[in-house]
Amino acid sequence: MTWNWQQADWPNFRYDSAALKGLEEQFLHRSGLLFGAYKHITDEEKDLLKVELISTEALKTSEIEGEILNRYSIQSSIRHNFGLETDNRKIPPAERGIAEMMVDLYRNYAKPLSHQTLFNWHKQLTSGRRDLHDIGRYRTHDDAMQIVSGPLQRPKVHYEAPPSASMKAEMKAFIDGFKKTGPKGKQPLSALTRSGIAHFWFVSIHPFEDGNGRIGRALAKKALSEYLGHPVLIALSQTIQNNKKTYYSMLEQSNKSNEITEWLQYFAQTILDAQDETQVLIDFLIEKARFFDKFRGQINERQEKATLRMFKEGPKGFKGGLSAENYITITETSRATATRDLQSLVQKGALTKTGELKSTRYYLKIKK
């Protein structure tokens, strides 16, 4: 098997720019809509959106690689890094590390990419790890860096990256190329094209012992942020995680050639889908503000506590809807009081009701 980096044209990636033009235009249009919607939420809601999206990205980018982290620990660490109120919980090293990396990406997106930036991200990602030889530096081991699956006796090699001895040269070329194609570079590229190339090129080199996918996705978002001139808050990793098999299939399909049009089309569409996810969340926050403006002074403390808890579940709400038992647990009230409160919320138009008796469920009456 001859991999992309073993071919004479590496890393001069070829692609059909005409096939990407429409996607690039959609990205810019949707970016404008997102920015416009963002201006219509309060500072408190902006902080909520920032913490929610960054923490979800931290959680999902780790899940893609099979690492399951604690959402509340990540959120607490992110809030601490932004100087927001926290629950003062003890944060495990893995959650603290990914949170620090994601906050650094948000704050310092405009700083030129450097080897040290990548080393710092790798140190943060691998915080608490004791099983790696090279932390905060490119890999040095003599063994081939392979992505494999299947039994040890007959492993299937999906990809083999360049040898460790070539990492210095490969990464110098990568960083030089990333800078050259930036908005102020000598050969600037459009947003989605540069983002897709950056991610694919980086994971093809696979410069670290571990964490390459997470750093590659961070670089994709850095490229988008540099192009737009502000931190990009989109649910990229969440969108990838929703269809992880396609993501890995596209990477594997594309690593045998330096013609990457199909990869760029796939990745561009993934970014557009991620923008849609973010738009849903912003619209949800706007609806939340309208909801409490409308019912201010009309609902009691128990009802406010319960509806706030429902909003906390996000756009999808409680799985299966809010039950009377949920309401009793949230408000610590009696069944009779819960029944009256819930009936009142339905009558006022704050909730909708479905089902009967034990199957009765309640949902927020908001635009979706």
- Distance between CA atoms of residues 81 and 31, nearest Å: 26
3-state secondary structure of 148: strand
Residue the block writes with tokens 């796939």: 266
Question: Domain residue spans in the chain?
Answer: 4-283, 299-364
CATH superfamily of 4-283: Fido-like domain (1.10.3290.10)
**How confident is the model over 164-204, as pLDDT tens digits?**
999 999 999 999 999 999 999 999 999 999 999 999 999 99
Q: Quick check: 271 and 195 in contact, CB under 8 A? A: yes
Q: Which two tokens stand for residue 217?
A: 């996705």
| pLDDT of res. 40 | 81
Indicate the class that CATH gives domain 299-364: mainly alpha
Q: Nearest to residue 98, comparing CAs of 136, 126, 132?
A: 126
Q: Which two tokens stand for residue 194?
A: 């540069």
How open is the CA angle 51-53-57, to the nearest 5 degrees?
A: 115
- Distance between CA atoms of residues 19 and 157, nearest Å: 31
- Distance between CA atoms of residues 51 and 281, nearest Å: 12
Task: List beta partners, residue 361.
Answer: 354
All residue ranges of the chain with pLDDT < 50 are none
| pLDDT of res. 65 | 94
Alpha-carbon dihedral sign for residues 40, 42, 47, 51: negative
3-state secondary structure of 338: helix
- Region of 224 (left: φ > 0; alpha: ψ -120 to 50; beta: rest) is alpha
First to last CA, the chain: 49
- Distance between CA atoms of residues 242 and 221, nearest Å: 18
- Distance between CA atoms of residues 223 and 231, nearest Å: 10
What is the identity of the amino acid at 188? P
| pLDDT of res. 317 | 83
| pLDDT of res. 115 | 98
Cis previous bond, 11, omega within 30: yes
| pLDDT of res. 101 | 98
Q: Nearest to residue 22, comparing CAs of 14, 11, 30?
A: 30
- Distance between CA atoms of residues 116 and 136, nearest Å: 8
| pLDDT of res. 214 | 98
Residue the block writes with tokens 């620990």: 73
Q: State the SS3 of 65-82.
A: CCCCCCHHHHHHHHHHHC
Task: List beta partners, residue 149.
Answer: 156
| pLDDT of res. 353 | 96
Residue the block writes with tokens 């989109």: 234
